[in-house]
Structure 1
Amino acid sequence: MWIFAVEVVCLGTWILLSAMESHDEDRTSASSRVSSSTAATPSQVSRNVAATCTSALRKNSNTDSKVNGVILFLAGKNEPFFLSRTLPLLEAHFLVYFSYPVHIFHEDMPEQWQTAIRDAIPSACRVSFEDVGRFWRELPDGVTEKQLAAWMRTPPQRRYQGRGYRIMCRFWAGLVWRLPSLDVYEYYWRLDTDSYLTSHVPCDVFKLMQVNHCVYGYRSIRGENPRVVWELWPTFLKWAKAALSPAELAGLTGFALNASTKKYEGVMYYNNFELGAMKLKRHQLYHSLFQFLDTEEPRGIMRYRWGDAPIHTLAVETVMQHEGWKKCQFDKRFAGYMHGKR
């Protein structure tokens, strides 16, 4: 087993970063050490907290009081707005006041682009890059290129995103949370390459999550296009009936189905702006559900283009309700947030 270790000053502590070829299941990670005050009696209903920036959270914190958090991006090969707008806005409205590390997943990103990214966010206490191209070069076990092409040629699927997008959904829904590179962190903030913070972030969002004992943070809940969640709910139920108690299943059903029609409409947390504790995404129930959806028929991520948002919403809510953990809801106008190529 080869180990590469480097010590860096970030978050006011000496952090040992390891890149290991072995993926030991029993390794101890920072993600399992979130404050025990977030724990609760199992099978409670998750609690919603309004994300409010207090005067204490607005202060430019001393380095040694920062939360062990990281900002995550997945950058493709054609991201014109990422370098010209997203990163400069992140620097001007957040990082210059609250210096946190930024970790960027990519595929074969040129060194000159990595340098340009570092130059765009000089206030980040560290900028790291991780090539995850292997996930795009291989399909899930049991799915062939010929089979996937046939699925995408069916009339209902022709209008929707293709191979690369579906693998991206698979990546964010589950694969990313298994990566050893994230072991050292307790919290994450996921943003898209076209996520724009158009005004000042009024406080340290990681500390806001911590002081409120929240393990998930989101802006809004919306519905997905029913054509790209085809068979997701019945497939979830197959897993849930075996994995959850009747009370837990009833709670999830109440959350996921429309209160009036009692139908599943692809409920999802708006996850191109989301914060969370690593222990949430690495919870055994989260992993179990993703594994089931990824490997069992109908293999809807690749067949039907199930998005990462509705998948991770079912998984997040399952864990939240099982543990009785809190979630923070941010105002839709928080930091002037905008999304999309505009």
Structure 2
Amino acid sequence: MLVLYKTTNVLQSSHGSTFVTLAIVMAKYSSPALQVLSSPRRYIPLAFFTLILGHYLLTTIHSGYGEATSMSRLAESWRKVAETTCNSTVFLPPKPSTSASDSYYLPAQSSPVPSGPRPVIEVEKFSPPSRKANAAFVFLARNSDLAGVMQSMKHMEDRFNKKFNYPYVFLNDVPFDKKFKYHTSLLTNANVSYGVIEGAHWNQPDWINEAQAKANRQWFKDNNIIYGDSVPYRNMCRFNSGFFFRHELLKQYDYYWRIEPDVTFFCDLNDDPFLFMQDNKKVYGFTIALYEFPETIWTLWNATREFIQMYPEYVPEDNAMAFLSDDGGQTYNNCHFWSNFEIGDLNFWRSEAYTKYFDFLDSKGGFYYERWGDAPVHSIAAALFAKKDQIHFFENVGYRHAPFEHCPTGRIHVQNKCWCDEANSFDNDPYSCLYRYNALWGPGTNRPKWDP
């Protein structure tokens, strides 16, 4: 203990009382009473007090160490943590793992943070459905799309289908592999079916002049038209336009909800859109409307006009022509419903009017000589062959397919627990055609709404 006493004498000038106390304590534990203990146990208190001594030495010699370990400094840190976690007024959802940029998940600068108390809206408790529509989700996907398919399914299950248990139908031009089937079937308790598309329904027909089609594809590529030189993309557009509803796996259903890989559903759905379609005799539902690239559909409207002149009886009164044309049908304004999201009546596509319309378009070769998409084809058919009140805007369904999204606003946004930013919604974008749909009902009239 001689070394210990010498150390305390050196430092007593600055921390005299502290080290005198330590010296007394150490002397006490050096007493004969301590020596009675076995040798290993005797070193435990010595090690403890050596640690205490080291702490005080560092506190004296190193001012930064003393500041960092002070009780007031620690208390201040805990106070700041408590303020941050308990009193924050801005709540952002956890960022999911997607391909979107990080900035997408931050509030847009144009979207002010609400002030005042959080709005209180009573949300009715969910009750299990007493009935269901004869409906299914439809995925057109490849084996390589598995990650994106799982993302879309997870969103759909969490937001809607775990409560309603509607089946899934997956279609591919080649058989789905075991990995795809295994992982997709794990995400739902609903029935899942996997089908292969017939070659005649998917591949470019033999009667297409391939030399002409190839030259046209090169022109599209040279002019930077998206998917301009892609034959598989054209196969997909033709299949979605005229054949998906004829597939054996879909023959048993009356309604479908098309889903694509890598999409997001932002809001809870406690009511059944399939039953809404059925009970209100709707034939087509959408969330986003926009303009088509005119270069891809040069002759589509001319072919449509030719068909209508042949079959005027297929066009009912009170149709939605005004959504498509600003001059009574002389020209097409290129507006269409974005078909990567659509909820529809399969029997509408199976109708005589639509099947004849598709067969007529197909005979023109525009799916391959140009790049006719299923979105304008479906949109034109719905606007002409159905009444305008049979086309429905699902404003309560928050949805994103990059780069566009629809985000509900106001009461719907809060009640359905939407986590999208209203400022990012495509509804009021200059490229949106939603205003043309809303204008179908004219001033002083209200379009039909789904307000569960």
TM-score by length of 1: 0.73
CA shift for structure 1 position 339 = 0.9
CA–CA separation in structure 1 for the residues paired with 2:126 and 2:151: 24
Query: Mapping of 1:60-99 within 5 angstroms?
Result: 60-62=128-130, 65-79=131-145, 81-99=147-165
SS at match of 1:79: helix
Deviation at 1:245, TM superposition (A): 4.4
Preserved CA contact (<8 Å) 2:141 2:170: yes
- Residue-by-residue CA offset, 1:215-255 (whole Å, 9 max, x unaligned): 22222332211111211111111111011149759956534
Counterpart-to-counterpart distance in 1, 2:287 and 2:195: 27
SS of 1:154 mapped into structure 2: helix
Which residue of 97, 101, 117 maps to 2:184? 117
Residue 283 of structure 1: aligned partner: 351
Greater Cα shift, 176-185 or 95-104: 176-185
Task: Kindly indicate whether the alpha-carbon contact (under 8 Å) linking 1:195 and 1:337 is maintained by their aligned counterparts in 2.
Answer: yes
State how 1:253-292 maps to structure 2 within 5 Å: 253-258=321-326, 263-292=331-360
Asked whether the 8 Å contact 2:315–2:386 carries over to 1, the reply is no
Q: After superposition, where does 1:1-342 map in structure 2 within 5 Å?
A: 59-62=127-130, 65-79=131-145, 81-106=147-172, 107-120=174-187, 122-124=188-190, 126-132=191-197, 134-135=199-200, 138-154=203-219, 159=224, 160-161=226-227, 162-245=230-313, 253-258=321-326, 263-296=331-364, 299-321=365-387, 326-331=390-395, 334-340=396-402
Residue 290 of structure 1 aligns with an amino acid whose one-letter code is F
Q: Tell me how far 1:95 sits from its aligned partner.
A: 1.5
**Contact 1:177–1:281 under 8 Å retained in 2:** yes
AA at the equivalent of 2:392:
C
SS at match of 1:97: helix
Residue by residue, what CA displacement relative to the aligned partner does 1:72-92 show, whole Å, maximum 9, x if unpaired? Answer: 010024325424411111111
Relative to structure 1, is the Cα distance of residues 232 and 111 closer, same or farther in structure 2, using a 3 angstrom cutoff? Answer: same
Amino acid in the other structure paired with 2:244: V
The structure number with the bigger radius of gyration is 2
Q: Could you tell me which amino acid in structure 2 is paired with residue 179 of structure 1?
A: H
Task: Tell me the distance in 2 between the aligned counterparts of 1:79 and 1:109.
Answer: 11
Moved more, 286-295 or 175-184: 175-184
Task: Give the drift of 1:129.
Answer: 0.5
CA–CA distance in structure 2, aligned partners of residues 310 and 272 of structure 1: 12
Choose between structure 1 and 2 for higher RCO, CA contacts under 8 A separated by at least 6 residues.
1
Do the aligned partners of 1:166 and 1:302 also contact (CA within 8 Å) in 2? yes
2:119 is matched with none
Structure 1 unmatched ranges of 5 or more: 1-54
User: 1-side partners of 2:128 and 2:146: how far apart?
Assistant: 31
3-state SS in 2 of match to 1:78: helix
TM-aligned CA deviation for residue 211 of structure 1 = 2.4
**TM-score in terms of structure 2 length:** 0.56
Q: Contact 2:134/2:253 (CA < 8 Å) preserved in 1?
A: yes
Question: Deviations for 1:37-68, whole angstroms, at most 9, x for unmatched residues?
Answer: xxxxxxxxxxxxxxxxxx99953214xx1111
**Which residue is 1:26 aligned to?**
none
Higher strand share: 1
SS of aligned partner of 1:72: strand
The residue that corresponds to 1:13 in the other structure is none
Distance across 2 between alignment mates of 1:213 and 1:57:
27
* Larger helix percent: 2
Query: Structure 1 196/66 Cα, relative in aligned 2: closer, same or farther at 3 Å?
Result: same
SS at match of 1:66: coil
Contact 2:132 2:275 in 1 (8 A): yes
**Judging changes above 3 Å, is the alpha-carbon distance between structure 1 residues 259 and 148 closer, same or farther for their aligned structure 2 residues?**
closer
Q: Which moved more, 1:246-255 or 1:138-147?
A: 246-255
CA distance in 1, matches of 2:257, 2:220: 37
Aligned to 1:20: none
After superposition, give the CA deviation of every residue in 1:93-119 in whole Å (9 maximum; x if it has no partner).
Answer: 111111011001112321221111101
Shift of 1:138: 2.9
Q: Distance in 1 between the 2:134 and 2:211 partners?
A: 44
Say whether the 8 Å CA contact 1:186–1:279 is kept in structure 2: yes
What fraction of aligned residue pairs are identical, expressed as a percent?
A: 26
CA RMSD of aligned residues (A): 2.9
Could you list the structure 1 runs, at least 4 aligned residues long, displaced by more than 6 angstroms after superposition: none
